[in-house]
Amino acid sequence: MHAGIIFLLVIIGSILFHIFTPWYWTDIASNWKGMDDTITLTFWVGGGVFVAVCLFMIYCVFRYQHKEGRRAEYKPEDKKLEKILTWATTLGVAALLAPGLIIWNQYVNVPKNAIEVDVMAWQWGWQYRLPGKDGKLGTTQVRNIADNNPFGINPDDPFGKDDIMVESDVINLENNRPVKILLRSVDVLHNWYVPQFRAKMDAVPGTVTFYWFEPNKVGEYEVLCAEYCGVGHYAMRGGVEVQDKADYEAWLGEQETFEQLSARYEKLNVDGNKLAKK
């Protein structure tokens, strides 16, 4: 069979695959629809260029197949054509870059009303902390981490006392309220990623990283680790539950503050000591 026909079938097959694919995005559940839209735009422009270049190549293969005695054209350069192609490409690239940068600008500027969620990662699990009534998270240090202080909150920091400790690998979020995810890790790189939210960022030991999104669909979601973190990487899962305001506040009321947690451990210790004395 003629090579051109097979190449043509490959291109047609690619287009059909894209149209009829059963594998595509999960339903978006956050404000980052702009990312999806930019992907779609890039698909149209990039896919168009791909198809055009390949079809032109296939046309040449059919039209200019070798014949003894025929001569190819001798034309080393065509300045005008090269200029047109350069500018057209530059324009196309700029048209794709512009929305990309606009959305990135939103991504790196966190809205003022965003609620902070402190995500702590380790090999291999997740844990969460929310600011208490004062709206501020207490400062932390890896060296302070202990059973009674899983985040390593500085005991002297007044902002830390009312921090809400979520003792679960599932975090609840309020629907339609922006969240700023603060990421920290105690050992290696991790990445707190929910495909439906589209957004992600690495957790890096030694520093605190962040990103934000606004969940807009009530439901339960799975958290995946998206940065290789050793043999347990593929099994490092967590969860998110997006709830309406009322449900969320009810859940929030059930959570323990750092102060309560410390008191509980102290009591445990005291009881333990008493038991030991008896």
Partner 1 sequence: MSDEYDNNKSYQAQSSEVMDGSTGSVNPDIDYVRPSEVGEQELYHPHSFIEKWVFCQDAKVIGVQYFLTAVFTGVVGLILSWLMRLQLGFPELAGFMTAEHYYQFVTMHGMIMVVYFLTALFLGGFGNYLIPLMVGARDMVFPYVNMLSFWMFFVAVAVLMASFFVPGGPTGAGWTLYPPQTILEGTPGSGMGILLMLISLSLFVIGFTMGGLNYMITILQARTRGMTLMRMPLTVWGIFTATVLAMLAFPALLVSAIMMTLDKVLQTSFFMPTILKAGEVLEYGGGSPILFQHLFWFFGHPEVYIVALPAFGIVSDLISVHARKNIFGYRMMVWAIVGIGALSFFVWAHHMYVSGMNPWFGFFFATTTLIIAVPTAMKVYNWILTLWRGNIRINVVMLWCLGFIVTFVNGGITGIFLGNVSVDVPLSDTYFVIAHFHMVMGIAPLMVIMGAVYHWFPLVAGKMLDEGLGKWHFWITFLGAYSIYFPMHYLGFIGVPRRYFEMYDSPYMTSAVGMNEFISIAAFIVGAAQFILIFNIIKTLKTGKKAEQNPWKANSLEWYTSTVPPEHGNFGDRLPVVHRWPYDFSVPGAKEDYIPQTTAPSEVIHTEVEKT
Closer to partner 1 by CB, 58 or 165: give it: 58
At closest approach, how far in Å is the CB of 39 from partner 1? 6
Helix (H) or strand (E) holding 11: helix 3-20
3-state SS assignment for residue 170: strand
**Does 111 sit near partner 1 (CB under 8 A)?**
no
With CA atoms as reference, report the closest residue to 225 among 213, 233, 217, 214: 233
Contacting residues for 171 by C-beta, under 8 A, at least 6 apart: 117, 119, 128, 238, 239, 240, 241
At closest approach, how far in Å is the CB of 274 from partner 1? 26
At closest approach, how far in Å is the CB of 165 from partner 1? 17
Residues 1-40 that bind partner 1 (CB under 8 A): 3, 6-7, 10-11, 14, 17, 21-26, 32, 34-36, 38-39
Choose one: 41-49, 156-164, 247-255, 268-276; the region binding partner 1 (CB under 8 A): 41-49
At closest approach, how far in Å is the CB of 138 from partner 1? 18
At closest approach, how far in Å is the CB of 140 from partner 1? 11
**Does 216 sit near partner 1 (CB under 8 A)?**
no
**Does 170 sit near partner 1 (CB under 8 A)?**
no
Quote the DSSP letter at residue 67: -
Radius of gyration of the chain (CA): 28
Closer to partner 1 by CB, 116 or 259: give it: 116
b/e per residue, 35-63, with b = 16+ CB within 10 A?
Answer: beebeeeeeeeeeeeeeeeeeeebeeeee
Q: Which of 165, 179, 225, 242 binds partner 1 (CB under 8 A)?
A: 225
Residues 130-169 that bind partner 1 (CB under 8 A): 142-143, 145
- Pairing relationship of beta strands 179-185 and 209-213 according to DSSP bridges: antiparallel
Encoded tokens for 175: 């629907």
How many residues touch partner 1 under the rule CB under 8 A: the total is: 99
At closest approach, how far in Å is the CB of 254 from partner 1? 28
Q: Which of 5, 12, 16, 97 binds partner 1 (CB under 8 A)?
A: 97
- Please tell me the distance from the alpha carbon of residue 82 to that of residue 95, in angstroms, as a whole number: 20
**Does 89 sit near partner 1 (CB under 8 A)?**
yes
Longest dimension (CA), the chain: 108
Quote the DSSP letter at residue 159: G
Choose one: 67-75, 155-163, 254-262, 270-278; the region binding partner 1 (CB under 8 A): 67-75
